Structure 1
Amino acid sequence: MNYDPRNIDIGQLARKYFDGTATEEEIAILHRWYQDADETDAAIVDITPDEFETFGASMLEDLHSKLHADKAVAPVKRFHFNSKYAAAAAVLIVLCSTGYFWYSNSNVHPKKDIAAVVQADPLPGKDGAILKLANNQQFNLDELQDGVVLKEKGVQIVKNGNEVSYTISAEHTTETGFNTISTSRGQKFNITLPDGTFASLDAASSLKFPSRFDGNMRKVFVSGQVYFDVKADQQKPFTVSANGFQVNVLGTRFNVNAYEGDPYSHVTLLQGSVRLMEEKGGTARTLVPGNQAQLDAQGNLSVVPQGDLEMIMAWREGAFQFRNTEISQVLMQLSRWYQIDIDLQLKDNEPRYFSGRLPRSSSLSDILKILRLSDVNFKLEGNKLIVLP
């Protein structure tokens, strides 16, 4: 049966599909129709919006069972896609046991497979960081063996896997100076600060902190994305300075996203309470758990009462997560993790959005196969990813 929606009763085929009487050929036609359809098209062929969404989920499970009939896999985890990109739901397979997405679309749209234009597949990021001490001594942490990195005059720095920790003894006699731990693109690392505060750095991020927290406050400086679990100390408030604003806390858990050049910086509170204000002055805002504060380059501060915590914290769980995220923001995250530059050559003004959860352990080519579902094509030249019109 040739595919021509003008000559096919899609509504009848859909009902045969739900009844379990559709042939393989008819199911293939339905898959093809669903990729190009939205809820308006569904209404024309007498399919309700609920049936349309159920239809997509059912096809997703059908594809999963066909592709992996010979493997023991966990149930499919479903994600909601808006109607414009509902096609993604029909071809995106999520294996909960591994977190991987699978792409199966070659029989529907005979477009050039993205793997054919990715010559050297950039590797995903890994653990790694540079630790620079106040005396300019530097340690490449991903090259060091586990164990004591430095032990001198009451300061002990120990590396254990993907974390470095500071311990300060009462015999600490060295002059307090600032140390900096920094990750490049394609790196992440964790640190326990001298006061016992835990911090986790995402790619292209840095954390500047004193070798000892003297006086009546603890102040650090952040660039990029850093998660904090602050050691409680009622006598010494903890302050984070980042991209034109300050976060003041006593003991709490929160995430700072403050990449230089990004249009917005964000602070998301997971536990406790924080007070946020511009460094140049202005109105201070107190956040409660679940709040996400957003600050633009002009210093305008707004607060979302309930941020999308699952999406915001996905990086800590080894995943990218997007919900109707504009494609340029998706690509910016990929740029930092896969160490690639982005050349956006889209000529139209229509925004493209993507929703889904992708493992950060995936190869870039696997990620790009999924992103093609948002009607975007790519070409990789060296470390430059060209987004084609």
Structure 2
Amino acid sequence: MSTTKAKELLEKYRSGMLSPEEMAILDTWYLRTAAQEDLIIEEAGFEDNLDRVWDRLSVNHSQPVKRKLLSFPRLAAAAILLVLCSFGLYFYLNRTKVDNQIASSDKHFKNDIRPGGNRALLTLGDGSEIVLDDASNGQLAIQSGVRITKTAEGRLLYSVADTHSSGLPTFNTISTPKGGAYQIELPDGTRVWLNAGSSLKFPANFPSSERKVDLQGEAYFEVAKNALKPFKVECNRQEITVLGTHFNVNAYANEKQIKTTLFEGAVRLNAKGAVSRALKPGEEAAFSSGKFLISRTNGEESIAWKKGIFQFEDADIATIMRQLERWYNVEVEYRGNISEDTFRGKISRNVNLSQVLEILEVGGVKFDIEGKKIIVN
């Protein structure tokens, strides 16, 4: 952000005329400036520290402070974590405006990468493929008595067209690339949201005995209730059995654990060699080393991606980079000594990569973008 723009926001802050959106930008700019000029972020609070930046800019500040907007608790070493939370929330609520206002900030990146979007590939039972982001809205195919339609909202809909259809089930697979996400409604009414770099294999029409799908990557399920026909999700080395429920599964191959988070209903978890466990709403199971570890959670972090947000709760830089890799379709290279600090906060997934990295850099980590690669220094 230019000095002129900073002075303008500081003057509005001092007069009590700053909007919440402008406050979010000023918060982040302030922490950047404090770091660059070796200003110590003290426990006195945001106002007292901001006054020191104000004085260095020699701006006329004759009007009294009328602070009525965002207030910060004690600022210490974790100040960056707090600003991530406020700035990220602003991004989520007002993405378009923030894109315009941040556009004039001083960026040091040689190039930039746009965020992912509604992209997926559908592979039918006969091996034919349909690129869903290029396909026109309307009917795409009919298989096993089921009509496959792309809706105007950009999701895939399976609906029964022939109730007398029989024979062996025809399996379809929907795959999202890195930088892609997609929503699908299965023939039983179950709705599935697929995160980036994921795939779901399922029968075009479920047989009478059970409903079973195979997941790789991450997905959020809203399973249609059917007490006579359980719904099963196979993912890596784990099987999840439900009747009707809402839950999220993170089963990426490069993550240390398979995490299942339950929001509604009940699920039972099974894995070879492990004791079967049942989950209740508000619980999360982490599976690793042949064991299920159950903990209480509000679930916000696990489904932030579905809401268009990166949400970090004491996440180290490697954890954050894995999410950026998948959503921006990039590689990550680490150089030098990597910070062991953890981050907490929210950032919109609908902004360019440079904007995410700029926010993270306030915490002391430095980045470069070289082609389709993030360099972490």
- TM range, normalised to the smaller chain? 0.7 to 0.9
Offset at residue 81 of structure 1 (A)? 9.2
Offset at residue 211 of structure 1 (A)? 1.7
Offset at residue 356 of structure 1 (A)? 1.7
Q: Tell me if the contact between 2:125 and 2:171 (Cα under 8 Å) persists in the aligned partners.
A: yes
Tell me what 1:72 maps to: none
Distance in 2 between the 1:135 and 1:230 partners?
Answer: 27
Task: Give ranges in structure 2 of 5+ residues lacking alignment.
Answer: 1-12, 17-29, 53-58, 60-67
The yes-or-no answer on 1:287 pairing with 2:279 is yes
Distance in 1 between the 2:50 and 2:225 partners?
Answer: 46
Alignment of 1:220-239 (within 5 A): 220-239=213-232
Letter paired with 2:130: F
Identity of counterpart residues, as a percentage?
Answer: 33
Give TM-score, length-normalised by structure 1.
Answer: 0.75
Q: Tell me if the contact between 1:118 and 1:365 (Cα under 8 Å) persists in the aligned partners.
A: no
Task: Give ranges in structure 1 of 5+ residues lacking alignment.
Answer: 1-16, 21-27, 60-65, 67-74, 107-112
The yes-or-no answer on 1:140 pairing with 2:131 is yes
Offset at residue 231 of structure 1 (A)? 0.6
The yes-or-no answer on 1:212 pairing with 2:205 is yes
Tell me what 2:109 maps to: 117
Tell me what 2:254 maps to: 261
Matched positions, count: 329
Give TM-score, length-normalised by structure 2.
Answer: 0.77
Aligned match for 1:324, one of 314, 318, 321 = 314
Alignment of 1:165-180 (within 5 A): 165-168=157-160, 169-173=162-166, 175-180=168-173
Distance in 2 between the 1:199 and 1:208 partners?
Answer: 12
Distance in 2 between the 1:80 and 1:322 partners?
Answer: 19
Tell me what 1:62 maps to: none
The yes-or-no answer on 1:368 pairing with 2:371 is no
Higher relative CO (Cα under 8 Å, sequence separation at least 6) belongs to: 2
Q: Deviations over 1:220-257 (max 9, x none)?
A: 11011100000111001111111211111000000000
Distance in 2 between the 1:311 and 1:284 partners?
Answer: 25
Q: Per the alignment, in what secondary structure is the counterpart of residue 83 of structure 1?
A: coil
Distance in 2 between the 1:142 and 1:201 partners?
Answer: 14
Tell me what 2:62 maps to: none
Evaluate the alpha carbon distance shift between residue 117 and residue 152 of structure 1 in structure 2; reply closer, same or farther with a 3 A threshold: closer
Tell me what 1:98 maps to: 94
The yes-or-no answer on 1:126 pairing with 2:126 is no
Aligned match for 2:334, one of 344, 347, 357 = 344
Distance in 1 between the 2:269 and 2:226 partners?
Answer: 18
Aligned match for 2:182, one of 189, 198, 205 = 189
Letter paired with 2:187: P
Q: Tell me if the contact between 2:250 and 2:259 (Cα under 8 Å) persists in the aligned partners.
A: yes
Q: Tell me if the contact between 2:143 and 2:204 (Cα under 8 Å) persists in the aligned partners.
A: no
Evaluate the alpha carbon distance shift between residue 288 and residue 82 of structure 1 in structure 2; reply closer, same or farther with a 3 A threshold: farther
Distance in 1 between the 2:188 and 2:51 partners?
Answer: 52
Evaluate the alpha carbon distance shift between residue 340 and residue 372 of structure 1 in structure 2; reply closer, same or farther with a 3 A threshold: same
Q: Tell me if the contact between 2:116 and 2:327 (Cα under 8 Å) persists in the aligned partners.
A: yes
Distance in 1 between the 2:174 and 2:226 partners?
Answer: 23
The yes-or-no answer on 1:312 pairing with 2:309 is no
Distance in 2 between the 1:89 and 1:164 partners?
Answer: 38
User: Cα RMSD between the aligned structures?
Assistant: 3.4
Tell me what 1:4 maps to: none
Distance in 2 between the 1:294 and 1:344 partners?
Answer: 27
